[in-house]
């Protein structure tokens, strides 16, 4: 469910007509709905009911300060993968004590900053990283709380580029090595075992891989507790998928049932790391049509948003709905919607059946709230888009469009 709705043939975000935002701020522009963000957070949290749980929003999905602040205000924690993301969380007023830190390549500087800030958990991804964390802990005279991220060797059945739970993936510690590592960690003075973690991939549309992975991981959690490791947190990762076109991912209720079933009896405080499920359908990317061209093979529609603004189609063969902001009538033709970037992969919507768009018209790429702006770049020296937050009838710019001078900030000729 989201709050991008048609009213009298005009696409709105909550109470605001999207053409008004596009005319005022220009295009391309990301627009987010505060009501949708809030609703998604609450629905996921409520699905877990009375079971102790902490929702650690995965910052990399969309790291805008306004979004972080909104989730912090709802009592959320954060899942970060860099020192930069920790700084954003702090800047937005988020709590380090509710923040978990994942990633295979944390530097000692990043670990120090996170430990000094009082982070909840370091999700450690290798034996050598555990030693580095131990060194940081001893240097700061504290024990860094850690969870091993184990790799349960389960096929998440998602796109191979966003699958992380297979043996061949760079993520996590092999499942079989976990017990030995916790045992070794007992002797280290700079760390303390506080939990167990896994994350098998993103855009998961089936419950069965989650169930398989979490059943394995919950068994390991119980085994470690029985062996005397003082674990309190079971971090089940993120990955819950959303509907971009015709996918039918588990509902939050079904997701929660799967997690609660697989982990029942552990007595653990659950940590959840949803990213896409909270923000994906809470954002759209507004764009304006520049030109059309017809070749013997195809109709092309050239828009002012490119793969630098929204890379998911080029990177993951992802599908985003493409809708006019003002409803159109007429005969549909098949078009490829392309951006201005000089790359053949700059195709944002392929083989869509549409009333032929006209130059100057406004459109939206739907479901663009996750891994949209956070993956945007300046490729082709294109300033990154503006971002807008809508809340009821009100809206405000939550990130200005980059200016041309921003393109060479820090450079020397």
Catalytic residues: 342
The smaller minimum CB distance to ligand PLP, of residues 106 and 276, is found at 276
Query: And the tokens for 139?
Result: 């240097």
Asked if 369 interacts with ligand PLP (CB under 6 A), we say no
Site string for ligand PLP, 76-95 (x = CB under 6 A): ---x-x--------------
Q: How far is the CB of 66 from ligand PLP (least distance, A)?
A: 18
203 vs 190: CA distance, rounded Å? 36
Cβ density class 121-148: b for 16+ within 10 Å, e for less: bbbbbbeebbbbbbbbbeeeeebbbbbb
The smaller minimum CB distance to ligand PLP, of residues 200 and 341, is found at 200
Q: Do residues 164 and 199 touch, judged by C-beta distance below 8 A?
A: yes
SS3 50: coil
- Residues in binding contact with ligand PLP, number by CB under 6 A: 18
The smaller minimum CB distance to ligand PLP, of residues 102 and 376, is found at 102
Which one of the spans 271-279, 323-331, 358-366, 395-403 is the region binding ligand PLP (CB under 6 A)?
271-279
Asked if 110 interacts with ligand PLP (CB under 6 A), we say no
Asked if 274 interacts with ligand PLP (CB under 6 A), we say yes
Q: How far is the CB of 58 from ligand PLP (least distance, A)?
A: 3
Asked if 320 interacts with ligand PLP (CB under 6 A), we say no
Residues 237-256 that bind ligand PLP (CB under 6 A): 237-240
Site string for ligand PLP, 221-240 (x = CB under 6 A): ----------------xxxx
Instruction: For the chain, count helices (H), then strands (E).
Output: 11, 21
Residues 328-357 that bind ligand PLP (CB under 6 A): none
Q: How far is the CB of 189 from ligand PLP (least distance, A)?
A: 27
Asked if 202 interacts with ligand PLP (CB under 6 A), we say yes
Residue number of the CB closest to ligand PLP reads 275
Is residue 28 reached through a cis peptide bond, with omega within 30 degrees of 0 on the bond before it? yes
The smaller minimum CB distance to ligand PLP, of residues 280 and 324, is found at 280
Site string for ligand PLP, 133-172 (x = CB under 6 A): ----------------------------------------
Q: Do residues 200 and 213 touch, judged by C-beta distance below 8 A?
A: yes
The smaller minimum CB distance to ligand PLP, of residues 202 and 281, is found at 202
One residue of 276, 288, 352, 382 binding ligand PLP per CB under 6 A: 276
Listed in order, strand segments (DSSP E) in 59-96 are 77-80
The contacts of residue 180 (CB under 8 Å, 6+ apart) are none
The contacts of residue 401 (CB under 8 Å, 6+ apart) are 25, 26, 29, 383, 384, 385, 386
Which one of the spans 3-11, 135-143, 274-282, 389-397 is the region binding ligand PLP (CB under 6 A)?
274-282
The smaller minimum CB distance to ligand PLP, of residues 2 and 202, is found at 202
Crossing angle of helices 65-73 and 34-47, rounded to 10°: 40
Q: How far is the CB of 294 from ligand PLP (least distance, A)?
A: 38
Residue in the structure block whose two tokens are 């017990």: 179
Q: How far is the CB of 100 from ligand PLP (least distance, A)?
A: 8
171 vs 177: CA distance, rounded Å? 14
Instruction: Determine the distance from the C-alpha atom of residue 131 to the mean position of all C-alpha atoms in its chain, rounded to a whole number.
Output: 29
Residue 381's Cβ-count burial label (10 Å; 0-12, 13-18, 19+) is exposed
Cβ density class 39-56: b for 16+ within 10 Å, e for less: bbbebbbebbeeeebbbb
SS3 57: strand
Residues 44-63 that bind ligand PLP (CB under 6 A): 58, 60-61
Q: How far is the CB of 385 from ligand PLP (least distance, A)?
A: 20
The smaller minimum CB distance to ligand PLP, of residues 209 and 237, is found at 237
User: Nearest Cα to 53, choosing from 328, 266, 309, 352?
Assistant: 266
The footprint of ligand PLP (CB under 6 A) covers 58, 60-61, 79, 81, 102, 199, 202, 237-240, 273-277, 370
């Amino acid at each position: 469910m989201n709050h991008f709705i048609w009213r009298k043939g005009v696409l709105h975000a909550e109470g605001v007509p999207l053409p008004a935002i596009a005319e005022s701020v220009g295009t391309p522009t990301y627009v987010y709905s505060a009501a949708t963000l809030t609703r998604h957070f609450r629905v996921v949290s409520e699905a877990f009911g009375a079971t102790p749980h902490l929702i650690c929003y995965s910052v990399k999905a969309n790291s805008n300060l306004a979004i972080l602040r909104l989730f912090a205000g709802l009592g959320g924690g954060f899942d970060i993968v860099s020192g930069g993301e920790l700084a954003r969380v702090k800047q937005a007023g988020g709590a380090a004590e509710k923040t978990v830190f994942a990633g295979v390549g944390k530097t000692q500087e990043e670990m120090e900053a996170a430990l000094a800030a009082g982070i909840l958990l370091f999700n450690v991804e290798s034996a050598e990283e555990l030693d580095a964390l131990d060194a940081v802990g001893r240097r700061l005279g504290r024990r860094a709380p850690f969870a091993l991220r184990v790799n349960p060797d389960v096929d998440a059945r998602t796109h191979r580029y966003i699958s992380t739970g297979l043996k061949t993936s760079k993520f996590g510690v092999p499942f079989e090595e976990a017990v030995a590592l916790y045992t070794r960690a007992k002797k280290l003075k700079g760390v303390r075992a506080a939990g167990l973690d896994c994350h098998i991939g993103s855009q998961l549309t089936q419950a069965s891989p989650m169930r398989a992975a979490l059943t394995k991981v919950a068994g390991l959690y119980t085994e470690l507790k029985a062996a005397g490791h003082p674990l309190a947190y079971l971090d089940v990762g993120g990955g819950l998928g959303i509907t971009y076109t015709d996918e039918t991912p588990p509902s939050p209720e079904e997701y929660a049932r799967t997690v609660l079933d697989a982990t029942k009896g552990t007595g653990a405080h659950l940590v959840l790391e949803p990213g896409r499920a909270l923000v994906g359908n809470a954002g759209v990317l507004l764009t304006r049509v520049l030109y059309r061209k017809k070749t013997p093979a195809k109709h092309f529609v050239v828009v002012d948003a490119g793969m630098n603004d929204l890379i998911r189609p080029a990177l993951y063969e992802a599908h985003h709905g493409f809708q006019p902001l003002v409803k159109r009538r007429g005969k549909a033709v098949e078009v490829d919607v392309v951006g201005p970037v000089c790359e053949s992969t700059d195709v944002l919507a392929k083989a869509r059946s549409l009333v032929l768009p006209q130059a100057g018209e406004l459109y939206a790429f739907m479901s663009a709230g996750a891994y949209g702006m956070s993956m945007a770049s300046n490729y082709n020296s294109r300033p990154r888009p503006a971002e807008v937050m809508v809340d009821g009838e009100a809206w405000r710019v939550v990130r200005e469009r980059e200016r041309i001078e921003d393109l060479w900030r820090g450079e020397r000729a």
